Amino acid sequence: MEPLRHDDPSKAGGYRLLGRLGAGGMGVVYLGRTEAGELVAVKMVRAGYAGDEGFRARFRREAEIARRVDNPWTVRVLGADTEGERPWLATAFVAGPSLAEAVDRCGPLVEHGVRVLGRILADALAALHGGGLVHRDVKPGNVLLGHDGPRLIDFGIARPTDPGAAPLTADGVVVGTPGYLPPEQAEGGVPGPAGDIFSLGCLLACAATGRPPFGTGPADALLYRTVHDEPDLDGTPAGLLPVLRDCLAKDPDDRPGARELIRRLADDPRSPHRPVERDATTWLPEDVVRLIAARAARSLELPPVEPTRVDTPPSAPPSAAASRGPGRRGLLAMAAGGAAVLALGGGVVALNLLRGGEGRGAPARPALGVLADLTGRDRAVGREQERGVRLAVAHHNARADAPFEIVVRAEDEGGAAGAAGAAGELAADENVVAVLGPTTDGAAMATLPVCEDALLPLVMISSGRTTLASDALGGESSRVLLRAGPSDLLLAWPIGAHLAEGAGVERPGLLQDRSLGVSAGETISVTALVAQRNHGHTPHPRVVPPGLRENEGFAPVVADMLDAGIDSFVFAGPPESAAAVARELAAAGFDGPRFAPQAVLHPTFIEQAGDAAEGWRLIASFIDPAATPGAEDFVAAYREEFDAEPGYWAAEAYDAAGLVLRGIENAAAGRDEPPARSRLAEALREVTHRGVTGEYAFDPEAGDLGSRETHLYEVRDGRFVLLGPA
């Protein structure tokens, strides 16, 4: 929850507003409280849209639809005012993560958990469809996990199925979330109940495998795959495959109805009407249960109230059971059912744990956490990042006027699977006031929610995923994230510009390898946009599935692109695949301009491509310190400290650590102790820092870097050579 801003109202109807839960372009969702103390979520329309009669009509219908749905698995409407100066809608507050966040952080559910989840959501849809309504946006981000079961939320684009009902969106407009839309809706058709079943099938496939069945990437690519490709259900438990395949049938008539789906998802088909478990501890993984408990406890983080005096009994040694800590049910009882006890006797302790030790007992010797790949595929990058941070801290501690001595605590991110645990170790250390890293996008997705929960500032050095915050936090913005480098989206723009400089370039070939995920899709989409709109080129794009290199290989795809008459080439994918493509192009005698993003700027590319790598150009966000004017002092200090030449990312990590150290000093000005985490997170957004690689300044709202140069490299004589700014 973010604090209220100066222009936010303090009340909506009879509800006192306590803080912001989230905001979009058209409205803000607040956490509120009734006079009786019940927490509520209040969605309020922005003033600029309140005067739009069309928008007001849609909001009015959302309130009407939400009231019409009477089901235990949807949020209960408590009040609304759709006619006032600023319309609002209040619903019961669910103190838990979205399904999207739970799967991203804790991994897929087991088969029994998917069945329970599917039966519950199918029951909610059955009630919706029985009332003549369709939801139109069933997705993991619209399912909240509470201690007493999930809730389907957000009826903002729901609509009646009655053919005579007046539509509130234009004909042919695609409404919903690409990747979860049914084929008929992706093509602009009329939505119906069968479309919700398709979306639910996508949601359950994601819950079972940890990934959406039609992949990720640009909206147009997702819509195309939904209409033309079969879903990717690899890794789905065998018992779920038949029912999920039927839910994901292209023809709406081939999909089961909601009631039939409830029956087919029963563990025992002979007892399809057995009530589902409301208690989350019986069907959700322990990590998810702990996440729900943490969110329930955070709901106690409310504005101050008059203190209540409580006489506490003398302390006694803990029992053996108490020393082991609460189990899954105990966690939920403490966080949900035991809220009154926490609020009176243990509230301060609980909140200090969640805040990472803010307030009394703040660390006198703060630590910078480093989360990096120290043993995996990108360990060379991770090692450079750790060394850069250590060098910056050593220089800080050597200053006579340094207000605090800083220590470094490094953790191996352990890939996407281990990053959340490593981040949890750092978050649990009250001395750690900020974390730098992690190295890879997958680890970043797992790390951000952990730091968000602990209000622990997270400064990303090399992760470039553009949609990181919204994807990792279920569509929400982050309070703690800062990007110390440009995103993949910004790195893609120079490629199209450099293509335009190539003599005779008119038909660039653009090849996306889906092994690299969202990053590759963004690179190809932006390059195509720049080439086509800005320079009048006619791109020839191709998209290949993950694993093509290990299976049939790239030869047929490259041959097809050459036959299409391409005169230049852009590849977005991992370095191993780039090397295979480079060999195919060289064998065919292709010597036109060849470009790739920084994922390919990896020793593996040159090692596996050999002479075929010569002449490739790459866009990167990092410098080569030894070839950068003005970095001489940094290079000399690095050599002295580590008896080695600085590698890629060392200077960027040095600067990112310098930025955080400056933020610590600014936030602690006039105080004799280091700043609390939340204060540091705010202070870092205001810091301007001049480092070895350039100037750092951030958008205070989004936490994104204001501007930084990108850099152009070329492979020459078997090495990456920095040519200058891209």
Catalytic residue among 8, 104, 123, 137: 137
Distance CA 662, CA 135 (A): 49
The number of C-alpha atoms within 13 Å of 248 and in the hemisphere containing its C-beta is 26
Cross-strand partners of 407? 367
| φ, ψ of residue 241 in degrees (nearest 5) | -55, -50
- CB-based contacts of 418: which residues, under 8 Å, 6+ apart? 412
Cβ pair 424, 621 in contact under 8 A: no
Distance CA 3, CA 28 (A): 13
Q: In whole angstroms, how far apart are CA 337 and each of 39, 310, 331, 581? A: 14, 20, 10, 59
What is the length of the chain? 726
Q: Does 672 qualify as catalytic in the annotation?
A: no
**Strands 594-597 and 617-620, sheet pairing:** parallel
- Find, among 463, 479, 569, 577, the residue nearest to 518 by Cα: 463
Distance CA 724, CA 629 (A): 10
Distance CA 435, CA 437 (A): 6
Q: What are the tokens at 415?
A: 């890939």
Q: What angle do CA 698, 700, 704 make, to 5 degrees?
A: 45
Q: What are the tokens at 394?
A: 């050593």
Cβ pair 622, 651 in contact under 8 A: yes
Distance CA 335, CA 97 (A): 14
Distance CA 687, CA 656 (A): 11
Give the DSSP letter string of 183-243: HHHHTT----HHHHHHHHHHHHHHHHHSS-TT--S-HHHHHHHHHHSPP--TT--GGGHHH
Distance CA 116, CA 111 (A): 9
- Find, among 517, 328, 486, the residue nearest to 416 by Cα: 517
The number of C-alpha atoms within 13 Å of 451 and in the hemisphere containing its C-beta is 35
Which single residue is written with the structure tokens 């006579």?
A: 400
- Find, among 580, 581, 537, the residue nearest to 561 by Cα: 581
Distance CA 263, CA 277 (A): 15
User: Which positions are catalytic?
Assistant: 137
